[in-house]
Structure 1
């Protein structure tokens, strides 16, 4: 089996490469730009097998709008036009459900092009639409909030652990009731090859299916003797529970959770061994 990971220098792409290399008789191709050369200079000259499009930019998309569109759309367009592959799996985000009535994969989505905060959603949805309209064997994976070792520094959970490890306390800027879905990168990289090879739908929510609140995270921190506080008047920032029924029915549920991995991740930060890297297009 041939697998290609585009964006292998990033958090998810890098760990996906490790997971794929552990598959018996799997060959993994993970090209990265070298010496200013465009990655497309080499990927169109070979059979790519099952492609995972992990290229993305998240935390600073507001300050880098052009880079965001380039990462989420531009190479994808050329790949769909010129690439030779058996399947393509495009990593999108559950952020696209902002303002939607439900979070199942078929729900109608709402975006506002005049809202700078929607640029990320719009660019991801453009990528999704290209996949669906291309006529290729292409699938979309909408990822929830992924956590794990070597999380990007801008990741919310990374910031919480870093503050706890460096100061012994954490001050939340959102309310204790704020909650969202967190999914382990270990589950993500287990599901992705299964979806690519055996998925029967064109779009999948890859999420735990359960929200974890700031209050629950605070409780876990307090068990580690971290002093936790919530800013006065902190806003509620809760996301609706992500519907992951399609994923679970085909490939089974999550095998881990943030609560289960909390001890391990906390120790990584305390021991300065998390390997956090600055946000970049990867």
Structure 2
């Protein structure tokens, strides 16, 4: 069994990682904010999932979470290896989505600060000379009652309000990956020395349209789906390449968000009624 330090261990992804690590018998340390002992103690294997994506309201916190803190850890902390959780959002409006693809920043992207800081964080890891691995999960889903993420938010609205306002076109499509798959893959990859200095996508490898999700919500909750005609930002995502993760985890098979959505609706309903 190993010692793991999980930055962001109380967040959506981090909580699942901590839960799985503990179930496997590992020792887990979850630092609190501004905990200076992270520069004084052995951190073992670090999983860094303390990112921030609220570019509009907290741009400096985005910089701190995605770049500044990881820079300090890479320079000052003692650890065996480090897994930096980035995002497949860096492939937005690109032609390809392999880990070796050329990437550009879109000038009309109002969240380009997120992409910029994630790429800077990735590059700091890879140039640090430390034992590091960069992971790029796609859009992570799961039961998170208070999450502002797209899928939990519209599921809550379908159950609580009987209505879902969709401010994206029916054809809008993304790759969705289960938080449990992200956590288990992260842990498995952290145990492989061959992943050092690698960038690895964690995704389902298939894009799901908003209309497909809306149809299931409507069928299972009898909610009303309202499609709003707005000037939607230019956001298109290529199908995420999963070739590399399969080379490290041959039995990797991501869950289907469409297959899981019915169970998610049931769990949301039970947990919300229990409050």
Tell me the TM-score normalized by structure 2: 0.91
Aligned equivalents of 1:123, 1:209: Cα separation in 2: 24
Is 1:9 paired with 2:4? no
Please report how far the alpha carbon of residue 253 of structure 1 lies from its aligned counterpart in structure 2 after TM superposition: 2.7
How many pairs align?
A: 269
Aligned equivalents of 2:134, 2:62: Cα separation in 1: 18
Please report how far the alpha carbon of residue 167 of structure 1 lies from its aligned counterpart in structure 2 after TM superposition: 1.4
Aligned equivalents of 2:176, 2:219: Cα separation in 1: 20
Equivalent position to 1:44, from 36, 39, 42: 39
Aligned equivalents of 2:75, 2:248: Cα separation in 1: 30
Partner of 2:63: 69
Residues 190 and 208 of structure 1, relative CA distance in 2, 3 Å threshold: same
Equivalent position to 2:228, from 227, 231, 235: 231
Render the CA deviation track for 1:165-191: whole Å, top value 9, x for unaligned. 111122211111111000000111110
Is the Cα contact below 8 Å between 2:175 and 2:207 reproduced in 1? yes
Please report how far the alpha carbon of residue 153 of structure 1 lies from its aligned counterpart in structure 2 after TM superposition: 2.5
Partner of 1:279: none
Aligned equivalents of 1:274, 1:104: Cα separation in 2: 42
Render the CA deviation track for 1:124-173: whole Å, top value 9, x for unaligned. 11100100000001111011100012265320001111110111122211
User: SS state of the match for residue 203, structure 1?
Assistant: strand
Is the Cα contact below 8 Å between 2:203 and 2:254 reproduced in 1? no
Aligned ranges for residues 166-245 of structure 1 at < 5 Å?
166-198=160-192, 200-201=194-195, 202-224=198-220, 225-232=222-229, 235=232, 237-245=235-243
Is the Cα contact below 8 Å between 1:174 and 1:237 reproduced in 2? no
Partner of 1:21: 22
User: SS state of the match for residue 111, structure 2?
Assistant: helix
Tell me the TM-score normalized by structure 1: 0.88
Partner of 2:261: 262
Please report how far the alpha carbon of residue 243 of structure 1 lies from its aligned counterpart in structure 2 after TM superposition: 0.7
Is 1:155 paired with 2:152? no
Deviation larger for 256-265 or 184-193: 256-265
Q: Give 5+ residue unaligned stretches, structure 1.
A: 276-282
CA RMSD of aligned residues (A): 2.2
Please report how far the alpha carbon of residue 98 of structure 1 lies from its aligned counterpart in structure 2 after TM superposition: 2.0
User: SS state of the match for residue 200, structure 1?
Assistant: helix
Aligned equivalents of 1:158, 1:234: Cα separation in 2: 23
Aligned equivalents of 2:160, 2:231: Cα separation in 1: 23
Aligned equivalents of 2:231, 2:164: Cα separation in 1: 14
Q: Give 5+ residue unaligned stretches, structure 2.
A: none
Is the Cα contact below 8 Å between 1:149 and 1:268 reproduced in 2? yes
Render the CA deviation track for 1:253-279: whole Å, top value 9, x for unaligned. 33422122212211232234499xxxx
Aligned equivalents of 2:109, 2:205: Cα separation in 1: 28
Partner of 1:278: none
